Amino acid sequence: MELSVNNMEIYDTTLRDGAQKEGISFSVADKIQIVKLLDEMGIDYIEGGWPGSNPKDMEFFTRIQDLSLQNIKVVAFGSTRRAHSEVSSDANVRALLETNTPVVAVVGKSWDFHVSHALGTTMEENLAMIGDTIQYLKQKGLRVIFDAEHFFDGYRSNPVYTLDTIRAAAEGGADTVVLCDTNGGTMPLDVQRIIREVKREIDVPLGIHAHNDSGMGVANSIIALQSGAVHVQGTINGYGERCGNADLCVIIPNIHLKLGVPKLLPWQLKRLTKVSKIVAELANMIPQDNQPYVGRCAFTHKGGIHVDAVSKHTQTYEHANPEEVGNKRRVLVSELAGKSNILFKAREDKIEYLSDHFPEAREVLNNLKKMEHEGYQFEGADGSFELLIWKTRNTYSPLFKLEGIRIIVDKQRREDELYVEAIIKVRVGDRIVHTAAEGNGPVNAMDNALRKALEEFYPEIKKMKLVDYKVRVMDGKEGTAARVRVLINSQNERKRWGTVGVSENIIEASWIALVDSIEYGLLCTRSTSVEEVRKALQELAWQEERIEAK
């Protein structure tokens, strides 16, 4: 069967298999939100959970009935009946029926080793368990997907019996038989060979469910589709037990862009990066920067030669258009940068009046490399980088100046905790402000004191907040005297930015990053009226048109 839009099925198991990843526990509200997201994307199926295993999954299946879905079908997951029991009285099977979902997925053993060692029953009884369960559910009017657990391991061990298990499923009426690489150890060419052999033995649509224990989850999924499977299972961001499941955020664009099967509409595919990040947030997981297609670094360029080539034609170092999956191209500035990096970054950040004839570009680059040699890193510090450009172009006027600062850390003042106070003196225009503030640490105290001093002059500072603070020791051999790099992330209601500071003194490094953070936020807030932005964009467009014409 040739893969096409009409027979291709994408099946998400983030809410069941993905939730088995260490550290993930979706609430019912989380699950419902994910269902809505994937419904909008046009995914065919989503596995809601195992209703017979816990009350939370039963609550989900109850509440999901009230949701009006346009594309996705919610699937209840369960296992075959127990050995030597009646399928009609099996508690697990009854729980599947009670969910009232139009589709159910039934997992059964296809590896003789598991039948004897895990189920502890006979080979014949296992076949009966598969056939009876599927036939019973089909008689109830349900669409049934059979997950042949450990199929590839079983096929290598005893191909005759393993084929008998999926024949039992087919004869019972299974609509799709999914071949599972449950241990995640099968290689792509073995998947290809086995699927082609299975297709000659069974006339039921085949699917693939791959785990990533050998790093082959996505590769096995794609080669299965190229070999005749029409149904693919996976999870958003590859979440799952042990090393995870095949990542749908990679599989979906590969189906669309590499296999040439436009399963999703263009606007749906563009939601992929956003969906990846939202699910990561709901799962309380840190997004993977190097994740293909949707990761922050997926279309990021650092080397000067690369950036120069990408500026001329994106296909020189990109296999796909980032915008098609809702991502964006990024250019980093570092000691590996060239002039092209500076110019590209300036255009990306819409800094006014920059073009390939920007005369200060070389000076910016020299300052950049000098600072990175000292330990600075601007890859996550766009705010500090823009300030560097503004300072080099002499378009920067400091909003305030530090006159003095003193940090007091006193353990004797309070028995159970440290007392920390920052006393600060800053000049704003022709006025000097002298103030103090406490904090739960030196950086927090400095932040509180600086904000207290500046709020009278810049009330918009109240809308800015520090959201992340990282310290990196540059050379551990120096011990406590080592140079450190401090990276601060801040945000207001409109944007998020990063700033960096470096020093042998962690307080000074923190102060540098903190001052950059506040100053950059204030400068952006005070210089981004609609008219100024419109003029900057017009000038930028004119500069780029002139460059292209040349």
Q: What pLDDT, on the 0 to 100 scale, is given for residue 333?
A: 55
Using alpha carbons, list the distances in angstroms from residue 409 to 123, 311, 406, 412, 442.
72, 51, 10, 9, 8
d(CA 304, CA 361) in angstroms, rounded, equals 13
d(CA 349, CA 331) in angstroms, rounded, equals 10
- Decide the pairing of beta strands 9-12 and 45-49: parallel
Q: Which amino acid is at 335?
A: E
How many C-beta atoms surround the C-beta of residue 423 within 10 A? 15
Residue 296 and residue 320 in contact, taking contact as beta carbons nearer than 8 Å: no
How many C-beta atoms surround the C-beta of residue 160 within 10 A? 8
pLDDT mean for each 10 residues of the chain (550 residues):
84 96 90 94 96 85 92 96 93 94 96 90 95 97 97 96 97 97 97 96 96 98 97 97 97 96 94 91 84 90 68 78 88 55 54 48 70 70 78 73 87 70 90 90 89 89 84 68 82 82 88 88 64 42 46
> Phi/psi at 36 (nearest 5 deg)?
-60, -45
Residue 209 tokens, joined: 């469910």
The CATH fold assigned to 400-457 is Double Stranded RNA Binding Domain (3.30.160)
CATH code for the part of the protein at 368-397+463-550: 3.30.160.340
d(CA 377, CA 384) in angstroms, rounded, equals 10
**DSSP 8-state assignment for residue 34:** H
d(CA 376, CA 509) in angstroms, rounded, equals 10
Using alpha carbons, list the distances in angstroms from residue 348 to 311, 331, 355, 368.
11, 8, 11, 18
d(CA 424, CA 433) in angstroms, rounded, equals 8
Residue 85 and residue 121 in contact, taking contact as beta carbons nearer than 8 Å: no
- Decide the pairing of beta strands 419-428 and 401-410: antiparallel
Name which of 238, 146, 131 is nearest 184 in CA terms: 238
d(CA 150, CA 158) in angstroms, rounded, equals 12
Using alpha carbons, list the distances in angstroms from residue 112 to 107, 109, 116, 181, 183.
15, 8, 6, 15, 15
Note whether 368-397+463-550 and 400-457 share their fold: yes
Residue 550 and residue 543 in contact, taking contact as beta carbons nearer than 8 Å: no
d(CA 428, CA 406) in angstroms, rounded, equals 19
d(CA 180, CA 472) in angstroms, rounded, equals 43
Beta bridge partners of 234: 12
d(CA 367, CA 117) in angstroms, rounded, equals 67
Q: What pLDDT, on the 0 to 100 scale, is given for residue 412?
A: 66
Q: What pLDDT, on the 0 to 100 scale, is given for residue 394?
A: 63
Name which of 407, 432, 428, 427 is nearest 418 in CA terms: 407
Task: Tell me the pTM.
Answer: 0.68
CATH code for the part of the protein at 9-282: 3.20.20.70
d(CA 43, CA 183) in angstroms, rounded, equals 25
> Phi/psi at 297 (nearest 5 deg)?
-100, 5
* CA angle at 276 for the pair 324 and 298, rounded to the nearest 5°: 55
Q: What pLDDT, on the 0 to 100 scale, is given for residue 352?
A: 44
Domain boundaries, the chain: 9-282, 368-397+463-550, 400-457
Q: Which are the contacts of 131, defined by CB distance < 8 A and separation ≥ 6?
A: 168, 169, 171, 172
**DSSP 8-state assignment for residue 235:** B
Q: What pLDDT, on the 0 to 100 scale, is given for residue 14?
A: 97
DSSP, collapsed to helix, strand or coil, labels residue 466 as strand
